[in-house]
């Protein structure tokens, strides 16, 4: 794959990941059902807001850092690396390294959500289901990983 093609592919994947990330953060990600008629739906952002309002500011800040800030920074870094590659034809190695470093923490909240669903289903308190938000968030993480791979290819 040529450097220009790599750059455009990385940029397209980064932009698509950004759109998926925005939807994944704002759309409902989890649904709790209690007593067959009480249902609560939460997005990643509403969970962070709820933690903050309930006085769990440290936990809310940690979740915001790993679920919002790191993924957004990774998308921006990959888009910037792609643009540098489109304009100059060279790889922005430092920016690419930063995005790869941030990517190590990307699936943390998907794991946490899976543990919460497992706990709720096995506790007998109710039922929990995943909703499209978490799938779009996971897709954004996968797309940024692919973008980093494409940009790092042949460096």
Q: In this structure, what CATH number is given to the domain that contains residue 85?
A: 1.20.140
Sheet holding 30-34, edge to edge: 38-42, 30-34, 127-130
- Nearest residue to 116 via CA among 132, 131, 128: 128
pTM (2 decimals)? 0.84
Q: Which domain holds residue 84?
A: 3-152
- The model's pLDDT over 20-54, given as tens digits with 9 standing for 90+, comes to 999 999 999 888 887 777 888 889 899 889 888 98
* Distance of alpha carbon 94 from alpha carbon 73, whole angstroms: 14
Provide the residue count of the chain.
155
pLDDT in tens, 116-146: 666 666 666 677 888 999 899 989 988 998 9
Report the domain count for the chain: 1
């Amino acid at each position: 794959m040529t450097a220009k093609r790599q750059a455009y592919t990385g940029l397209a994947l980064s932009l698509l990941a950004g759109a998926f990330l925005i939807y994944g953060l704002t759309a409902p990600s989890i649904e709790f059902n209690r007593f067959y008629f009480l249902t609560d739906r939460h997005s990643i952002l509403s969970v962070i807001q709820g933690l903050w309002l309930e006085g769990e500011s440290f936990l809310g800040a940690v979740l915001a850092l790993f679920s919002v800030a790191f993924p957004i920074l990774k998308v921006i870094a990959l888009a910037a690396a792609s643009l540098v590659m489109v304009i100059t034809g060279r790889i922005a190695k430092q920016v690419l390294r930063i995005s790869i470093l941030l990517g190590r923490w990307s699936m943390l909240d998907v794991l946490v959500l899976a543990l919460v669903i497992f706990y709720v289903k096995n506790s007998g308190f109710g039922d929990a289901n995943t909703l499209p938000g978490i799938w779009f968030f996971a897709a954004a993480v996968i797309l940024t990983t692919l973008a980093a791979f494409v940009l790092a290819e042949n460096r």
